[in-house]
Amino acid sequence: MSEPTHHAHTVVHPKVYAAVFGALLLFTALTVFASSLELGVFNAVVALAIAVIKATLVVLFFMHIRYSSKLLKLTICSGVFMFLVLITMTLTDYISRAWGLW
Amino acid sequence: MDSQAIATLPEHGHAEHEHSPHLHHHFATEDQQREASNFGMWLFLLTEIMFFGGMFTAYLIYRNWYYPAFVAGSHWMKIWAGTLNTTVLICSSFTMAMAVYSAETRKRKALLRYLSLTLFLGFVFLGIKAYEWHNEWVEHHVPGLNFSINDFTHVDPRYPLDKPLAPDMAEKTQSYFSLYFLLTGVHALHMLVGVSILLFLIFNAWKGAYTTGHMTFIENFGLYWHFVDIIWIFLFPLLYLISRHQ
């Protein structure tokens, strides 16, 4: 009756956390270094790409999404997709109102 | 686990009292209860993405409109402080992940240690942020309260290649600083909320909570804390780094 229930839920090993932690620190150093290079528009592209990679690592491992159900994965993907749709539509509006000025 | 988590009551779902005392009666299994709770937390975090997303979009649009002003404004950011704060937050995300792990493996002392470390790092972040804000106040870079375009209509000695801005464009640096204070301010507010909840968690953990098998609160707070870290991961390059050379 009082037998403790054990979760079928995946327990992530600290080694995985440590590896992700190391990668995040490495990418932070990399983004600061990349900002010191003269890359023109690609400064922003590189910085945002690194930020997306870091955020993905946090979501997948620290927030356990890699080990979660398809329902949760799909919900998060559709939420992020919706966010991108909203940004795109807002920008479409702004760009087309001041045509040629961007 | 996937199919189980979304399944409704299995046939033997009400096999009398074989479940843990933490399982609410409207859930079939602990995994299902856990997933329902995480799912709700994620829905909240998605609304938070939309909330911050609106401000990020505003930043994007104004940056394109008043590009020289945004470049000149961001040249006044202290990159060392931003880098240090990014590192502090990443460390705190790691200690938070370890706190969740300690709760999962039911180690009370380790849980208390990692939660306290997370709390400490949260305070360090806020301290560095306060130091930066104080500097911006001293430099007259706070729109509406204490602002002067002086720094932008003259050549910045640290960026001798910069051309001084015309007075009308120099005024637009206020847009940069307004968005800077808005974004970092709302982020710091989230940190303050996080730190307050952490104090509550530490108090409960000290009394022995979360290490008896029921840890959804710790887990969901972990999700919140990591989310706040992710926001900073985007704020740091956008506000501090990308205009370094322009």
Complex ipTM, two decimals? 0.89
Predicted confidence at residue A14, as pLDDT, reads 95
pLDDT for the residue numbered B79: 95
Residue B12, domain member (yes or no): no
Q: Is B50 on the interface with A (CB under 8 A)?
A: yes
Residue B4 has pLDDT above 80, yes or no: no
Domain count, chain B: 1
Dist CA B27 CA B9 (whole Å): 8
In this complex, is the C-beta atom of B48 within 8 Å of any C-beta atom belonging to chain A? no
Q: Report yes or no on B16 lying in a domain.
A: no
Residue B205, domain member (yes or no): yes
Q: Is the separation of the CB atoms in A47 and B242 below 8 Å? A: yes
Extract the tokens encoding A69: 């159900």
- Is the pLDDT at A48 greater than 70? The verdict is yes
* Residue B95, domain CATH: 1.20.120.80
Q: Does B237 contact A90 at a Cβ distance shorter than 8 Å?
A: no
* The pLDDT of residue B17 is above 80: no
Q: Do B246 and A43 touch (CB under 8 A)?
A: yes
Cα–Cα nearest to B240, from A29, A24, A32, A27: A32
Average pLDDT score, chain B = 91
Q: How much of chain B exceeds pLDDT 70, in percent?
A: 92
For the residues B70-82, what does the mean pLDDT come to? Answer: 94
In a domain, B23, yes or no: no
Domain-embedded: residue B60: yes
The verdict on residue B28 lying in a domain is: no
Q: What is the mean pLDDT of residues B201-228?
A: 94
User: For residue B159, what pLDDT is reported?
Assistant: 77
Backbone angles phi, psi at B141, to 5 degrees: -115, 25
With respect to residue B26, please indicate whether it lies within any of the assigned structural domains.
no
Interface test with A, best of B60, B226, B241 (most A CBs within 10 A): B241
Q: Which domain holds residue B166?
A: 33-241
Asked which of A28-32, B30-34, B57-61 is least confident by mean pLDDT, the reply is B30-34
A69–B5 C-beta distance less than 8 A: yes
Mean pLDDT of chain A: 89
pLDDT value for B31: 84
Length of chain B: 246
Contact: B17, A59; criterion CB under 8 Å: no
Q: Which of the two residues, B211 and B120, has the higher pLDDT score?
A: B120
φ and ψ of A29, to 5 deg = -60, -40
Residue B27 lies in a domain: no
Check if B138 contacts A (Cβ < 8 Å). Answer: no
Write the residue in B20, B53, B238 that is nearest to A4 by C-beta: B20
Inspect the interface and report whether the beta carbons of B2 and A71 lie closer than 8 Å: yes
Which chain A residue is nearest to residue B30, measuring alpha carbons? A7
Q: Is residue B186 scored above 90 in pLDDT?
A: yes
Q: Which of B192, B214, B45 is nearest to B119 (CA)?
A: B192
Q: Give the position of tokens 């509006």.
A: A93
